[in-house]
Chains A and B, each alone.
Chain A
């Protein structure tokens, strides 16, 4: 899976979290969502993104796959219209 953010109308980032305006919709993003948008200015592979996320936020609890969590976060962003997946 690869991901790239789509252009948004405007955004505000505070303490690693953000609020973005996409069209007429305002979307509040967590630190992970905000980071993923920051990292996907150009196409990025999910494995690369997973490394970047674990560098920043640490590894997930035992029994959870960091890659699967990254994929889930990207899919959530896709559903909100904020990233495209390839």
Chain B
């Protein structure tokens, strides 16, 4: 993945990208399998064409949010057919490299989970957990998108390390898959249930990207579920309520 920046304020955009995206930084620009084109200048209106991977804008914080969307989209598209991509927050044990994927659609609160439960642990992603055929997790430690106002549309792209999480350890292996069922009206401690594999596949598949483009996608999902000892669903209200469960998921998987 390469991000190409131009415009008369390109230097400012590059500096900000390097600051908040440093956990994803690579060196092989020529070998990039996807590109996003950014223009940051005084006159560009804020906007993005995610299909084309083009982002423009004069207001840097707004531009940064759109860059995150464009890079995420391009990265996901570039991995099409290669790996299983779960809509999930990924949190890692810094000692063992074990990763728990907390799966939920947008709006579930995956970023909040990372900020709440990920402090002192490896930050794999707050967006997509990508898993290879041998259950290795490919980290995507993008900036954490922190909402500027509680109900507002704009978010500030934040260096994850500022929020207390750790860089992901290089050896990342999937240890557990947990389906998130956050309910505002739920009271009591989190309720955890094991989901039969077929039901887990049916529940997880809508929370994937490009799964049908994989070879034997249902069988791959079955192997993924079996590989972690089965999938769990957790019903809860507040992210911090899951803290007592996280260590168990990271230590033993399901």
A contact residues vs B (CB 8 Å cutoff): 9-12, 14, 17-21, 23-24, 26-28
Total A-B contacts with CB atoms under 8 angstroms apart: 42
Nearest-CB residue, chain A, relative to B225: A12
Smallest CB–CB gap between B214 and chain A, Å? 9
From known contacts A23-B212, A24-B212, infer whether A12 and B205 are also in contact, taking CB-CB under 8 Å: no
Which of B51-59, B78-86, B173-181, B195-203 forms part of the interface with chain A? B195-203
A10 touches B198 (CB 8 A): no
Quick one: given A9-B212, A14-B197, A24-B212, are A19 and B202 in contact (CB under 8 Å)? yes
What are the residues of chain B within 8 A of A17 when measuring CB–CB? 198
* B27 interfacial contact with A, CB 8 Å: no
Complex CA distance for A11 and B202, rounded to whole angstroms: 11
For B199, B211, B218, B221, the residue with the greatest tally of chain A CB atoms inside 10 Å of its CB is B218
Q: B217 and A14: CB pair below 8 A? A: no
Question: Would you call B212 and A18 a contact (CB within 8 A)?
Answer: no
Which interface class (under 10, 10 to 19, 20 to 34, 35 or more) fits B? Answer: 10 to 19
User: Which A residues are in CB contact (< 8 Å) with B196?
Assistant: 14
Question: Which of A10, A23, A24, A28 lies in contact with B219, CB distance below 8 A?
Answer: A10
Is B170 interfacial (CB 8 A cutoff)? no
A-B contact pairs, 21 of them (CB 8 A): A9-B218, A10-B216, A11-B218, A12-B197, A12-B198, A12-B219, A14-B197, A14-B198, A17-B198, A18-B198, A19-B202, A21-B205, A21-B211, A21-B212, A21-B217, A21-B218, A23-B212, A26-B205, A26-B206, A26-B218, A28-B199
Kindly supply a per-residue 1/0 record for chain B positions 19-50, scoring 1 wherever the CB is within 8 Å of any chain A CB and 0 otherwise.
Answer: 00000000000000000000000000000000
Q: Tell me the complex Cα distance, A27–B202, Å.
A: 7
Chain B interface mostly helix, strand, loop or mixed? Answer: helix
Find chain B residues with CB under 8 A from A18 CB.
Answer: 198
A30 to chain B: closest CB distance in Å?
A: 10
Q: Is the interface of A mostly helix, strand, loop or mixed?
A: strand
A27 to B201 Cα, complex, angstroms: 10
Of B198, B202, B206, B217, chain A has the most CB atoms within 10 Å of the CB of B198
Kindly list chain A residues whose C-beta atoms are within 8 Å of the C-beta of B211.
21
List, in ascending order, chain A residues with CB within 8 A of B212's CB.
9, 21, 23-24
Complex formed: what's the CA distance from A21 to B219 in Å? 10
B133 at the interface (CB under 8 A from A): no
CB-defined interface of B218-239 with A at 8 Å, one 1/0 digit per residue?
1101100000000000000000
Residues of A within 8 Å of B216, CB to CB, are: 10
Closest to B216 in A: A10
- Kindly list the 9 A-B residue pairs having the minimum CB-CB distance in the complex, ordered from nearest: A26-B205, A10-B218, A28-B202, A12-B218, A12-B222, A19-B198, A19-B201, A21-B218, A10-B216
Provide the bound-state CA to CA distance between A24 and B216, in Å.
13
A30 to B202 alpha-carbon distance, docked (Å): 13
The residue among A11, A21, A27 with the most chain B CB atoms within 10 A of its own CB is A21
What is the chain A residue whose CB lies nearest that of B210?
A24
Contact indicator B199/A10 (Cβ below 8 Å):
no
